[in-house]
Structure 1
Amino acid sequence: MKIRLLAARTFAMMAAPLLAGACAAVPAQAPQPASSAPALYPDGMVSAADPRAADAGAAMLRQGGSATDAAIATMLALTVVEPQSSGIGGGGFYVTADAAGHVSTIDGRETAPASATQDWFVKDGKVLTFAEAVPGGTSIGVPGNLALAARAHAAHGKLAWKALFAPAIALAKNGFEVTPRLYGMLKTSSNTAAFTPAGKALFYGADGNPRPVGTRIVNTALAATLEKLASGGRPAFYAGANAAAVAAAARSAPINPSSMTQADIASYVAKPRDAVCGTYRGYRICGMGPPSSGATTVLATLGALERFDIGKLGPDSPVAWHLIAESMRLAYADRAKYLADADFESVPVAGLVDKGYLASRSALIDPARTIPAVDAGTPPGAKTAYAPAPAQVENGTSHFVTVDRAGNVVTYTSTIESPFGSGMMAGGYYLNNELTDFDMAPTVGGVPVANRPGPGKRPRSSMAPTLVYGPDGALRLAVGAAGGATIPAQVLRAIIGVIDWNLSAQAAIDLPVLFAPTGDTVFVEKGSRLEALIPALTQLGHKVMPRELPLKANAIEVVGGRLVGAADPRSEGRAVAE
């Protein structure tokens, strides 16, 4: 498995000398010209977790917009119709490529205030539990999605900035219906959804119960905010009344008030990052680098798995899932120890996906039995001895994919972390609780953990927006998922399904998910056909537990020169052609 970290340089494909791919930083400015390039596909497409958001993105494509225009409109619409999961109160990761396969990324991950210390979640000498830390102010990071959108639009947008807001403004102003998924979240997450009077008034009746499915919600406060952002651009979010409202919400929270300031918000920067690319069975796979752990975890799992003939074993083989689980356990062990914000910590990205290193990790795997205890390895370039830390709980996330006729593609994961984030609101939208993605215990046995809190630092993420190119160098699949630490496992399931088991993207997303994080327990999707394999997996030495996993994936694949969308049947998602 040949894997490299690519930074603004050409990746020469073995089977496609005419198609070079580069993973380069997105320029801060220099928008693309109104392209007159010939159409690569008959129609563009959007796949998102809510059909109304997918429609918003597709509307931009019909107006001649780019894949980036469509992605931004989708993100803005999700702020309205999927308030439990993503939007302008949170952050995201954006991976894009042009028709020639040149890949670039933008990091819109939230940042901790300048006053944050490594003991940000330590109170009276005791580390807060996740449930204690989520509600209120200290869990709120400076939101990054609007800055990400502005930077992406400057580089790759075709339509006017204001046009991208029109669908979201209409949804907020004219109203949108409560769906079964939103209703379920309102019912189970009232501690955050109804944490403020504004949230309670918007989504709950006088009896305290969630507004029923089908109820039309009109969010006039959010409509007004979006109108200001449409006219004022990035400065309207990171300065002035909106920035004051975000800082005030964090500081005045009735639980866990923060010391966030307007200066923290004003100083936020969405950063171009080097994409992380590698190959698997001749396919080129690219994703997001730190603070995302997505690409390294996906590529490390595939790297350890590649020597085994998973295709021959098939999707109903317990040995196949055993090998996937073992490869995943090794990758997640490295993730827990090394992955963090590379602006602050020494993250050996190239070493984590190095061919020789992954071969040594793969050598630990026995097809006939489990590894008794999995520990992190020592990848090339690992300079700092960090303590491994357990995975944090993450849930409130959304993924969407857009492709335009010219062949530009965007795979973008957006999040506010837990359902309804911190529960705090500003301007009609929920503010994230992203800082709980830090390891809240800053040290283990006196040794610092890489993903500890710090001033201006970005917490580690599991988000894994991914692009897959075939041996011919052409785009094969754009995919990503929501569901916290299960995200890399979901993306892996889709890639393995398409490449090894020759499934369509939809059939691959339909597959059940096996999740094997650091530790000795393998989780299989409850109610899926994987439950029938539990006795065989147990005989191989696994401790297996059926579990309801927070799964929600979206993808677009290229088949015969046409775009084919896929959306997770466990969600309300849909793919919409322009």
Structure 2
Amino acid sequence: MMKKITSYLLALSLPLFLITHNVTGKTKREDREPEAATGFHLKKAAQGQKFMVAAANPYAVKAGQTILAQGGSAIDAAIAVQAVLTLVEPQSSGIGGGAFIMHFDKQTNNLTTFDGRETAPEKASSELFLDKSGKVTPWIKAVVGGRSVGVPGVLGALAKAHKTQGLLPWKTLFLPAIELAQNGFIVSPRLEMLLSKKFNPGVHQMPGTKEYFFPNGEVIKAGTNKKNPDLAHFYKQLANEGIKAFYFGENAKKIANKVQNSVIAPGLLTVKDINHYVAKQREAVCAPYHEYKVCSMGPPSSGGVALLQILRLLEDKNMSQYGVNDVKALHYFTQASRLAFADRNVYMADPDFVDVPVKALLAQQYITERASLITQKDMGLAIAGQPVKTLAYAIDDAYEMPSTSHISIVDSQGDAVSMTTSIEMAFGSTLMVNGYLLNNQLTDFALSPTRNGLPVINRVQGNKRPRSSMSPVMVFNKDGSLRLVIGSPGGSRIINYVAQAVVGVLDWGLSAQDAINMPRITNRNRYTSLEKETQLEHKKLAFEKLGHEVKIVNLNSGIHAVELLNGRLYGAADPRREGIAMSELN
């Protein structure tokens, strides 16, 4: 066994990671990129015929490949991938966070989604992030510490999916992560950079967290072997006892105690809150785009609806007539995004607490009305439409950080998973329990309960799930067969990252890998961002002539995809991060 473990570790200690470069300069809160750029290294698509897994770290992808090779399902592999990501990519996701999972069952042709979004403590009120004078708490004070922690949901969702879609025993799925936690993994340059650049000051302040990431007062260095015995011990318990080991017993007590007694911003989370968490199975939201059907996650994610709005608003522009990333095509893209974000910031929230007008937002008549607002000039700040005349809500002011991860899997049965998973800010709340970090997802709620006398639909309420931008996507051909599994991290920019890649594949005929490699552009109904150090930089003047306010910034997507074409599988990983794709042929 030791030889097997050693060879597993050595195989993944090769120079797979990207060269880092510094990110300098101070930015406003809305432009902060905690998951900053770590270089760009073009990758080739992986090919296979039986199965494929693409994710954000080679260790995690190898774990998923191992499970699939043993006959495991896509959900089985997703559990193994997430368990390893918790260890090797702690800044982005983990079992202390939440996730949205899309699952496609090829045999039954059934598509469903699992909502593993975190929930607010029962005692939380809409004033959670207001100070004594009623003013909104500064963003970093809102993020770090116990106040921002919601009940973690990713394991609840994965366990719920495993009950019906798992093929291998739950216990088996944690073995790769247990081995790595016990024997150590090779620290990547990305992890060292994010720690040393102080993207989240909490990691330098929180007891336990500081000692783990800064042993002997020094940041863990890239290339060194890092062990996590606490996580290995807990994973053994979780593997043997099942999901109750997380939501009940000592782990639940430790979470509540850590949150309530945080040295920074103590929170309200209780053992009862954790005991009562329920992951939910929901219907996917789908809409036609040309001859395809595009499906994503519905509320409490805003990502799916906003992405579908962007595509539907672009449909009559016939994007295929333009070259790849043509200025005119991208101008239309930014305008569609402005309109989608205007609606998103008003109407999207937890559907268990409010009526979210999903059908009205995607209705053809409404899309046609909104599309008429797109002209040859930048429209400036778009105003939310009125898909339902009786609704009146204020614009949201939630913080959304881009520290997230995406997993795309197709198994040997043809079943698929598109899963976006997050702890929100880089390193989350920075509170650590049993070797994993707790989320700060409650800052995805609107911090202000009302604005201009109107209620904010995404305000904090007890047991409510915060709005998200996570946008796991599946695309289906006209005959109903699966065409593309895709998604990305990136905070609120996720919506643009994934939509642009989908346009690249469906309109411009690019492979998934080439679509991911494209220079990125975003507009979240503010300014137009062009990706730094790419060909789009040189088109800044052209956009400004169309009336755009343009900024050149790092647009650090982390798109992972599986493309199904002519009977083969093609796995694609974003060159901006350290992920890879692997099949049975690797």
Q: TM-score, normalised by structure 1?
A: 0.91
1:53-73 Cα shifts (integer Å, max 9, x gaps): 011111111111011101111
> Where do 1:74-473 residues align within 5 Å?
74-100=81-107, 101-124=109-132, 125-188=134-197, 189=199, 191-206=201-216, 208-366=217-375, 368-380=376-388, 383-390=390-397, 392-473=399-480
How far apart, CA to CA, are the structure 2 residues paired with 1:514 and 1:316? 9
Report the counterpart of residue 545 of structure 1 in structure 2.
551
**1:532 pairs with one of 538, 543, 561:** 538
Cα distance in 1 for partners of 2:408, 2:326 equals: 31
Is the CA contact 1:392–1:485 (under 8 Å) kept in the aligned structure 2?
A: no
Q: Secondary structure of 1:467's match?
A: strand
Distance in 1, Cα, partners of 2:540 & 2:117: 37
Question: In the TM superposition, what whole-angstrom CA distance separates every residue of 1:521-546 from its partner, at most 9, and x where no partner exists?
Answer: 11111112111111111111111111
Of all paired residues, the percent bearing the same amino acid is: 45
SS in 1 for 2:529: strand
Secondary structure of the corresponding residue to residue 558 of structure 1 = strand
Alpha-carbon deviation of 1:299? 0.4
Deviation at 1:419?
0.6
**Distance (whole Å) between structure 2 residues aligned to residue 554 and residue 182 of structure 1:** 19
Q: The residue matched to 1:126 in structure 2 has which SS?
A: coil
Distance in 1 separating the partners of 2:54 and 2:517: 15
Take 2:494 and 2:467, find their aligned partners in 1: how far apart are those partners?
A: 13
In 2 relative to 1, CA 155–321 (structure 1 residues): closer, same or farther, beyond 3 Å? Answer: same
Find the aligned partners of 1:383 and 1:225 in 2 and give their Cα distance: 50
C-alpha displacement of 1:405 = 1.2
Q: Answer yes or no: is 1:477 the counterpart of 2:484.
A: yes
Once the two structures are TM-superposed, the CA of residue 190 in structure 1 deviates from its matched residue by 5.3
Deviations 1:250-294 (A, max 9, x none): 000011101211000000000011110111011111111100011
Amino acid at match of 2:382: V
Structure 1: distance between partners of 2:535 and 2:256: 47
Change (3 A) 1:63 1:383: farther
* Partner of residue 30, structure 1: none
Give the aligned residue type for 1:399: H
**What is the CA–CA distance in structure 2 between the aligned matches of 1:556 and 1:195, rounded to whole Å?**
40
Q: Aligned partners of 1:84, 1:573: CA distance in 2, in Å?
A: 14
Partner SS, residue 344 of structure 1: coil
CA distance in 2, matches of 1:423, 1:270: 24
Other-structure match for 1:26: none
1:138 match: secondary structure: helix
Q: Is the 8 A contact 1:370 1:542 kept in 2?
A: yes
- Counterpart check, 1:500 vs 2:510: no
CA displacement at 1:314 relative to structure 2: 1.5
Q: Which amino acid aligns with 2:67?
A: M
Question: Alpha-carbon deviations, 1:15-53, whole Å to 9, x = none?
Answer: xxxxxxxxxxxxxxxxxxxxxxxxxx8321100000110
2:531 partner letter: E
- Kept in 1, the 8 Å contact 2:92–2:427? The answer is yes
2:243 counterpart letter in structure 1: R
CA distance in structure 2 between the partners assigned to 1:283 and 1:195 by the alignment: 50
Q: Which amino acid aligns with 2:554?
A: E
Q: Is the 8 Å Cα contact of residues 195 and 424 (structure 1) preserved in structure 2?
A: no
Distance 2:184 2:202 in 1: 22
Q: What is the total number of aligned residue pairs between the two structures?
A: 534
Q: Flag structure 2 segments of 5+ consecutive residues without an equivalent.
A: 1-47
The separation in 2 between residues aligned to 1:192 and 1:302, in whole angstroms, is 39
1:272 aligns to what SS in structure 2?
strand
How many Å apart are 1:383 and its aligned residue?
4.1
List alignment gaps of at least 5 residues for structure 1.
Answer: 1-40
CA–CA separation in structure 1 for the residues paired with 2:318 and 2:391: 36
* Matched AA of 1:43: K
Structure 2 residue aligned with 1:19: none
1:62 aligns with 2:69: yes
2-structure distance, mates of 1:376, 1:108: 28
Mapped contact 1:391–1:485 kept (Cα < 8 A): no
Q: CA RMSD in A?
A: 1.2
Q: 1:489 offset after TM fit, Å? A: 0.6
Between the aligned partners of 2:64 and 2:498, the Cα distance in structure 1 is: 22
1:203–1:217: 8 Å Cα contact kept in structure 2?
A: no
TM norm structure 2: 0.90
Amino acid at match of 2:51: G
In 2, Cα distance between equivalents of 1:550 and 1:346: 34
Contact preservation (8 Å) 1:402, 1:410: yes
